[in-house]
Structure 1
């Protein structure tokens, strides 16, 4: 039976680089910027982390759905690239958005399964990826400053 609704509300609290999730797990995720943006380049920056989130969501969705269908995956390699125009982030131009202008994903799969089965699973994983949906369609964000 498929539920009509299946809502969850993940919550995180970030203090420095520690992330406390609503499940109670504590993860430490480093974040930094390159020297040109006054960082030390010791960890990925936020927009690189977005690409990582997209890659991991697509891979998990693909591998999970392949396994459910009995498809053996020998190897998965995913490469992502994103184009940023820093004039938006730096406030130099209001005509340039501060986020990615384009993101490209290339996924290479090694499997003995027929190509059409691999493509079917990949399309399903792409279509049902929460991170892909968030990036493609945007989501209302409420930001409150407290002091």
Structure 2
């Protein structure tokens, strides 16, 4: 299983809306085309995202179709399915414990340094849990589970 974690920092005072999210999808596909062209060239690359309002807007669905992306079904607001929630951010939260930041740049730097320090195996481990977690989530109709 191969995957790419795409991230960006939302400018201060901005909210993620369908227009912004659609632009992020375009940016993600540009990066994916360079970093993992075989994922882009498959029948339909798979995208895992939740059902947040910006992710489920008509404009977003139109952009995903335009980009040829297939999304995995995802119950609303289920942290059990996002590897970033159950794997990456769990570790990142522990890493941040007790730290304080005095600027936006400091936050970005710590995030990028932390993410860059993780091994490919770390991400593989998080993604390898996904099929079982997805099935449990579907079986429990989106209710949380341990």
Q: What TM-score, normalized by structure 1, do the two folds share?
A: 0.26
> Bigger radius of gyration, 1 or 2?
1
Structure holding more helix per residue = 2
